[in-house]
């Protein structure tokens, strides 16, 4: 092989690597961008949380500044675990996918895979966040707020953290 052909091959490989880096960096920044939060609430105002995945549910309640699992059994919970769980809402939304879809089946939101319901004091009230199917092209999943029509694209960290929390709280017995 001549030196010129070798140089051309090396330049092509470098160009391909730079192009791939730029492409994946653009996708990565879109996924990790932090836009406005889904809900505005103070974690100290939250009184109840229900985590649901399929038929499994965990009911958590704060009583005199101490969090407890109330269902499927009763047990004290480390308050820090609850605060970490609530930080998932700091992730924000990647983007709104569709403002008013006629069919939520496409997004897996007709029967969500997971839900987190929160009851908070003050002006926050209560809300339920539903998570559906994974997006097939980027590391995100579809979600919506119950009683709102728009479908959101959120990072998979939401789903990962909720799965972890459900597994932990469902079997955790002791503070």
Mark the ranges of the chain whose per-residue pLDDT is less than 50.
Answer: 23-35
Distance separating alpha carbons of residues 139 and 31, to the nearest angstrom: 7
Distance separating alpha carbons of residues 6 and 19, to the nearest angstrom: 20
Q: 3-class secondary structure for 98-136?
A: ECCCCCCHHHCCCCCCEEEEEEECCCCEEEEEEEEEECC
Burial of 22 (0-12, 13-18, 19+ CB in 10 A): exposed
How many residues are listed for the chain in this entry?
175
Tokens representing 56?
């499994």
**Contact present, 119 and 60 (Cβ < 8 Å):** no
- Mean pLDDT of the residues in the chain: 81
What is the structure's pLDDT at 73? 86
Q: What are the boundaries of each domain within the chain?
A: 1-32, 43-171
What is the structure's pLDDT at 31? 39
pTM, whole model, 2 decimals? 0.72
CATH architecture of 43-171: Sandwich (2.60)
What is the structure's pLDDT at 22? 56
Chain segment 156-172, per-residue pLDDT in tens: 888 888 888 888 887 66
């Amino acid at each position: 092989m001549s030196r010129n052909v070798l140089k051309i091959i090396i330049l092509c490989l470098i160009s391909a690597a730079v192009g791939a880096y730029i492409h994946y960096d653009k996708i990565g920044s879109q996924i990790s961008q932090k836009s406005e939060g889904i809900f505005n609430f103070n974690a100290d105002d939250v009184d109840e949380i229900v985590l649901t995945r399929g038929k499994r549910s965990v009911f958590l309640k704060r009583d005199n500044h101490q969090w407890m699992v109330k269902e499927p059994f009763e047990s004290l919970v480390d308050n820090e675990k609850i605060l970490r769980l609530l930080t998932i809402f700091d992730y924000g939304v990647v983007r709104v996918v569709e403002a008013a879809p006629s069919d939520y089946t496409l997004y897996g939101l007709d029967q969500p895979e997971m839900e987190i319901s929160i009851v908070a004091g003050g002006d926050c009230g209560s809300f339920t966040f539903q998570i559906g199917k994974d997006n097939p092209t980027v590391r995100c999943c579809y979600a919506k707020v119950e009683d709102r029509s728009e479908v959101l694209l959120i990072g998979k960290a939401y789903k990962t953290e909720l799965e972890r929390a459900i597994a932990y709280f469902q079997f955790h017995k002791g503070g």
